[in-house]
Structure 1
């Protein structure tokens, strides 16, 4: 069993939430119209998954969630997976369909999916994953770590002070930093605001470079690369789905990119402090099993967090002539 515990430094984190991307609706397994867990008389369950977009991090979280359900419930659970392709309206359609089908539990993978699920039902249990900060995602002031009601889940928030320290460790002589993110993603805005404060306190000149979607990513990334010694990309769904654009601009220019998670680092970065999205999803699945079996009350379940690992992209580091510190592990 994988256990995820909240790190103490996250207790003071304030807020932010993701926005995102989605794929045309499609199912990975057949849906059913089973009733709520309390009403199921045959011990079977139907779980609906609404995933924001198809990229490595979210895919891994979904896989971990599904594996946990299958490991502990076997054939007793039917999973109805749908991906909405960067369209919040499609998230809403998916979640409303889950409610109409009276699924036993909804997994919302990324913030727009969570927001859609919250709007769709106050009764069916909702677990979320790949959410940076639930307070911002759900409009909760003074968020204390437990959402209450019919919502709980896991968070992918990494320690942002340590992310900033990572950049300084690799490039202590850097003078300018560009923070590249999608302006439509609230969690990304939160992360770059914190990173900017940390780097400015260390004496760097920091500029935020916001792109609205993938259509203007290349031009904004070019501006950031032209003006910055180093770049930072947070856990941003749009960036994660378009790392090839970022890499195609920054690597030929010799500009190092630091990333908020492993998937982005694999595509365009030199280093990251990364969580395991698979483990995050697996823990969310374990929470789901407890709820479905009546062993836990979702209204009292706190948001769970995970630890981070220092990782580097050997291919890009070699090409840029960078040597990773001894405590970094190469991304496989």
Structure 2
């Protein structure tokens, strides 16, 4: 029989202690449930949600689960979804788009809330003294590309324009924010421009409002969720009318525009996921986290529409490959 020495016993006890500590460490690894409220389904918001999930999954693996719900463009649905997340005691809420963010802020002051695809947090949350940080239990990322550059793009591509139509949803405060900023920038570039707002309340009157807007020399559509979900209806009116459309993001541009100054919504969501990791795993204080912006913007265009309209596109634009 093999003799058991004191050294062997000591080694065995040490190994057992190490194994026990390993089990305890694994047992103490936190798991998280994250609620995702997405205002409406369209390409940009879908990409932001995917980027957010990918970032957290890459860092946490199966220690994070997601409850992803779509509000179908209805603010009342956002409130219902958020109330469900609060009842389920999720560890963090991703509010994808302005309506979702507003519902989340109204629904809880305790659970950390990260917004994404929100253009201007001060406008969305009625903050007067904006400093770049929301405070409380809220932070996130903004999808706002430089609005002065978007205004310059309108006149760069349609330099002879005398009338500009602003087409957007009146129910989306961030759309109005963008319209006001682009209008101001256009007036500085060309004080003689005639600028008219064409607003629709929801998807039911988009076609009729687009028809009214078609008398413009060029049309601008901001990062508007209702417009993004109805680009086919807009294009069915404006393309036959031969009216060029400049848009606030690539998804709308692909559907009905000629050019855009765009960001990557996937990258934006990914950045938001990294912020979530800092909050959940590293104990970051969300109240001090500044709202972050997309690091890069790209001039993009739709080659076929530009060719049909006879629009010359500068070399620094990238073609959007239509699916």
Normalised TM-score (structure 1): 0.86
> What does residue range 73-222 of structure 1 map to in structure 2 within 5 Å?
73-201=60-188, 202=190, 203-222=192-211
Aligned-partner Cα distance in 1 for 2:300–2:313: 9
Aligned-partner Cα distance in 2 for 1:75–1:97: 22
Q: How far has the Cα of 1:172 moved from its partner?
A: 1.2
Alignment root-mean-square deviation, CA: 1.1
1:242 and 2:219 matched: no
Q: Which residue of 1 aligns with 2:261?
A: 273
Aligned-partner Cα distance in 2 for 1:200–1:211: 23
Q: How far has the Cα of 1:295 moved from its partner?
A: 3.9
Q: How far has the Cα of 1:316 moved from its partner?
A: 1.5
Q: Which residue of 1 aligns with 2:19?
A: none
Q: Which of these two proteins has the greater Rg computed from alpha carbons?
A: 2
* SS in structure 2 of the partner of residue 215 of structure 1: helix
Aligned-partner Cα distance in 2 for 1:53–1:120: 19
Q: How far has the Cα of 1:193 moved from its partner?
A: 1.3
* SS in structure 1 of the partner of residue 208 of structure 2: helix
Q: Which residue of 2 aligns with 1:68?
A: 55
Q: How far has the Cα of 1:319 moved from its partner?
A: 2.4
Q: How far has the Cα of 1:42 moved from its partner?
A: 4.5
Aligned-partner Cα distance in 2 for 1:173–1:135: 35
Aligned-partner Cα distance in 1 for 2:124–2:179: 16
> What does residue range 256-267 of structure 1 map to in structure 2 within 5 Å?
256-267=244-255
Deviations 1:106-145 (A, max 9, x none): 0000111111111111111100100011111111112110
Deviations 1:231-257 (A, max 9, x none): 000010000000001111111111100
Structure number with higher helix proportion: 2
Match of 2:293 among 292, 305, 314: 305
Aligned-partner Cα distance in 1 for 2:274–2:248: 25
1:320 and 2:309 matched: yes
The answer on whether the counterparts of 2:96 and 2:115 sit within 8 Å (CA) in structure 1 is yes
Aligned-partner Cα distance in 1 for 2:136–2:48: 23
Q: How far has the Cα of 1:321 moved from its partner?
A: 2.5
* SS in structure 1 of the partner of residue 219 of structure 2: strand
Q: Which residue of 2 aligns with 1:14?
A: none
Off by >3 Å, runs of 4+ in structure 1: none
Normalised TM-score (structure 2): 0.88
Aligned-partner Cα distance in 2 for 1:149–1:266: 38
Q: How far has the Cα of 1:294 moved from its partner?
A: 2.8
* SS in structure 1 of the partner of residue 167 of structure 2: strand
1:253 and 2:232 matched: no
The answer on whether the counterparts of 2:123 and 2:177 sit within 8 Å (CA) in structure 1 is no
The answer on whether the counterparts of 2:158 and 2:311 sit within 8 Å (CA) in structure 1 is no
Aligned length: 292
Instruction: List runs of 5+ in structure 1 lacking aligned partners.
Output: 1-39
